[in-house]
Amino acid sequence: MTQEQWNAVDRYITDLLAPDDEALAAALAQSASAGLPAIAVAGNQGKLLHLLARLQGARTVLEIGTLGGYSTIWLARALPEGGRLISLEYSAEHAEVARTNLARAGLDKIAEVRTGAALETLPLLAKEPGAGPFDLIFIDADKKNNPQYVEWALTLSRPGSVIIVDNAVRSGALVDENSTDPAIVGTRRMYELVANEPRLDATAVQTVGTKGYDGFLLARVVS
């Protein structure tokens, strides 16, 4: 199995089941034009987030890590009338690109992008009347802080909430207990936290495709 074959399979699936429409394609193009890193979720992964949000019956979504807003569009489109999405983005430049993309998609009244380090904006969000609890929380930011993000996700959730953590396999480097890479260390600590957290019921899935070899962690808040 090769990256070329993974790419071909992803294209086949995406073309049939999750094709980019004008707004999604424009979001990717605008992100590339602005020089954002090409690390947005793949189209079929965006559709998975969309379906998980709909299966969850989510009315409120928190996203940690916006980038150019591609995944934000997929998630916001899953919300019913009156739904709300808050996305937290460290980079002011990235946040502005995302706001433009959300407005083009007609979602700027549903999805709000807040700028700043998430570990600084999350405590403010937790104190904000009516901000939570969130029905679904998608974590896709700097991996070294994944344990703290999961802890804040628990604070901002309720029993029944779903927490999704992207890039949770790291091309298999996840199993390297001697790694000093902050992303690997943070991801491993996140797994340990989840495994020992009685309020969470979780699993993780390995994936291959246009984003390479990776995976995601899926957890449900049980109490």
- pLDDT for residue 145: 98
Q: Residue 86 corresponds to which tokens in the numbers above?
A: 């808050």
- pLDDT for residue 1: 82
Task: Report CA 56 to chain centroid distance, whole Å.
Answer: 15
User: 10 Å Cβ neighbour count for 19?
Assistant: 12
**Residue boundaries of the structural domains of the chain:** 3-221
With a threshold of 0.75, does the pTM exceed it? yes
- Look at residues 202, 109, 111 and name the one whose alpha carbon lies nearest to residue 157: 202
- pLDDT for residue 193: 98
- pLDDT for residue 195: 98
Per-residue pLDDT tens over the stretch 88-124: 999 999 999 999 999 999 999 999 999 999 999 999 9
* DSSP-assigned letter for residue 173: G
Residues of the chain with confidence (pLDDT) below 50: none
CA torsion 92→22→137→173, rounded to 10°?
-80
Per-residue pLDDT tens over the stretch 171-182: 999 999 999 999
Say how far apart CA 115 and CA 96 lie, in whole Å: 9
The CATH class that applies to domain 3-221 reads alpha beta
- pLDDT for residue 91: 98
Specify whether the CB–CB gap between 201 and 220 falls below 8 A. yes
- pLDDT for residue 38: 95
